[in-house]
Structure 1
Amino acid sequence: MTKEQDAVEHEESYIKAYEDIQLLKKDVMRPVRMELEVMKPEIYLQHFNVTDTIVCFGSARVREEKESQEKVKRAKEALAKNPTDKNLQNRLYEAEGLAKLAKYYEEARRFAKLVVQHAGDRFAVVTGGGPGLMEAANRGAFENGGRSIGMNITLPHEQRPNPYITKNLAFLFHYFAIRKLHLVMRSRAFVVFPGGFGTFDELFEILTLVKTGKKEDIPIVLVGKEFWNTVVNIPGLASYGVISPEEAESCEVVETAEEAWDVLAKFYKIK
């Protein structure tokens, strides 16, 4: 081999296209990257025969009762040392708000347990794969021998996958749109616990898909009566005529894991 041949073989252009990471990262290759994000989870989900899922959404910030109360305590102690600090006041405000929602960690965990106990392998439990209420739902399925799937996404503030996901069923996405595709396409119910912008985005996405006929009619259950009745006024939309009275009944609002499961059991005639 001549020096010239050796030089050519080390040029970037000579790397096989599917092995060229720098090529795949270029803007012009976005469609290829998106297709890869569609195909990789599809291959794994088909391999593990995942056809029907129950999707659970909820805040990544909500923790178990004990941890939440500890956070409130620390925030109060910090503020007591500097009571005029606006940042510390805001941290206490957040901690106290999240403490009100801490009970739903156990509700999410128990709901997923009920799915496994009463439906067996019929449904896999799917979440966004992160901490908080997503972790709780994955945990409930995982601890009771059910299939537990996590669909995480890269964010500016790193969100690591929770430890309660079935081996080789944890996925990492770059594109929200492709992640939503996989969350929706096999879903047979959406159970939505209290959450913020991300949870609202996912809730209204599935409502829109169902109401436009892009997704078959499935149960959409909101867990946490006080929370949902405070922050969302769907009947108010109907009162202005922007949705129909029938559409205002698209979601069932419940308080407990058992009530949420009863909605699904009734819909699918599971005794």
Structure 2
Amino acid sequence: MNKKNPLKARNFPSAQDEASTVRLPSRYAGPNSSFGMAYADTEFLLREELRPVRMQLELMKPELIQQDQGVESTIVIFGSARFKSREEAEAMLSKARAEGDAGALAQAERMLSNAHYYEEARRFAQLVTNEADALGEPVIVTTGGGPGIMEAGNRGAHEAGGRSMGMSIHLPFEEDPNPYITPELCFQFHYFAIRKMHFLMRAVALVSFPGGFGTMDELFEVLTLAQTRKIRRRPIVLFGRKFWNRVINFEALADEGVISPADLSLFHYVETAEEAWEIIKRTYREDDPALTARQVREA
């Protein structure tokens, strides 16, 4: 039997060992007692003065777990949490028609019209998961972990038999993370800033579907960092030119001189999953000419 040399054993007990075996003396086991390990004292860790420590922990936990799980590169999908799958949208429409509610009917019709974004996000994630070797490295899909477009991204990867990551943010009206995320890669954040930093730390491409304030916040942070060269250039893909042209006049920004005309090349418009995937593969070909035709399969 190959026994570990006692002289090479751990010199000190682990924090986990001590936290699990410590016994509070009865005199100091009450709620007002300060006895106990600081790192195991939730009340202490939640003090206002320890915000920097909590921010550091929120940065480190996902980083260390991703290292443990061998996550090296990601493709991040942004988009509305409110969009529905085609089946859900059709069910909403049938219910609204049956109830004769004009407001609900208009909303359901809009949801059905936008359901193609959910389906394209789902198909895009399937493509990435099935053909990740086309980039010459392991790549997994990452989303914000919620419903809508985020669910579609995780769902597509799951249906393709691959792993995917979800980075949820705690909100007062928060729902559970969508059920398609790989459990080992399902994270929850308190700080928006740390969450957005993690979106970018391993991202080789970012794909944004239509969305509201949250999607705009994430997209414009990426565009700002790319414009100012605080991050390296990477493909930024916008699904649905009609939507983006309607809600943001990028050309007007250039015309007014508040951005450079060259900044309009920071992103690409697409309408289908195949277009988005081809842009990402093409960027890899341009950045790494050594990739062979076998490694880079055409869409």
TM-score (norm 2): 0.82
Stretch of structure 1 that moved more, 149-158 or 139-148: 139-148
User: What is the CA distance between 1:219 and its match in structure 2?
Assistant: 0.3
TM alignment of 1:1-271, pairs within 5 A: 6-8=26-28, 10=30, 11-80=32-101, 89=103, 91-120=104-133, 122-269=138-285, 270-271=296-297
| Gaps in structure 2 of 5+ consecutive residues | 1-24, 286-295
Work out the CA distance in 2 between the residues paired with 1:61 and 1:8.
50
Stretch of structure 1 that moved more, 202-211 or 15-24: 15-24
User: What is the CA distance between 1:115 and its match in structure 2?
Assistant: 0.9
Q: Which amino acid aligns with 2:139?
A: F
Q: Which amino acid aligns with 2:118?
A: Y
Q: Which amino acid aligns with 1:50?
A: V
Q: Which amino acid aligns with 1:106?
A: E
Stretch of structure 1 that moved more, 198-207 or 118-127: 118-127
Cα shift readout 1:123-152 (whole Å, capped 9, x = no counterpart): 110000111111111111122122200001
Q: Which amino acid aligns with 1:98?
A: M
Aligned to 2:234, the other structure's residue is in SS state coil
Stretch of structure 1 that moved more, 244-253 or 63-72: 63-72
Q: 1:79 to 1:23 in 2, by over 3 A?
A: farther
Cα shift readout 1:19-52 (whole Å, capped 9, x = no counterpart): 1111112211111111111111111100011111
Contact 2:80 2:215 (C-alpha < 8 Å) held by counterparts: yes
Contact 1:194 1:228 (C-alpha < 8 Å) held by counterparts: yes
| Gaps in structure 1 of 5+ consecutive residues | 84-88
Q: Which amino acid aligns with 2:129?
A: V
User: What is the CA distance between 1:76 and its match in structure 2?
Assistant: 4.5
Aligned to 1:150, the other structure's residue is in SS state strand
Aligned residues: 259
Aligned to 2:184, the other structure's residue is in SS state coil
Aligned residues: percent identity?
A: 51
Work out the CA distance in 2 between the residues paired with 1:226 and 1:99.
17
Cα shift readout 1:2-22 (whole Å, capped 9, x = no counterpart): xxx742454431121111111
Aligned to 1:43, the other structure's residue is in SS state helix
Cα shift readout 1:167-191 (whole Å, capped 9, x = no counterpart): 3110011111111111111101000
1:86 maps to what in 2?
Answer: none
Q: Which amino acid aligns with 1:73?
A: S
Q: 1:93 to 1:240 in 2, by over 3 A?
A: farther
| Root-mean-square deviation (Å) | 1.7
Aligned to 1:102, the other structure's residue is in SS state helix
Q: Which amino acid aligns with 1:68?
A: A
Contact 1:153 1:159 (C-alpha < 8 Å) held by counterparts: no
Aligned to 1:56, the other structure's residue is in SS state strand
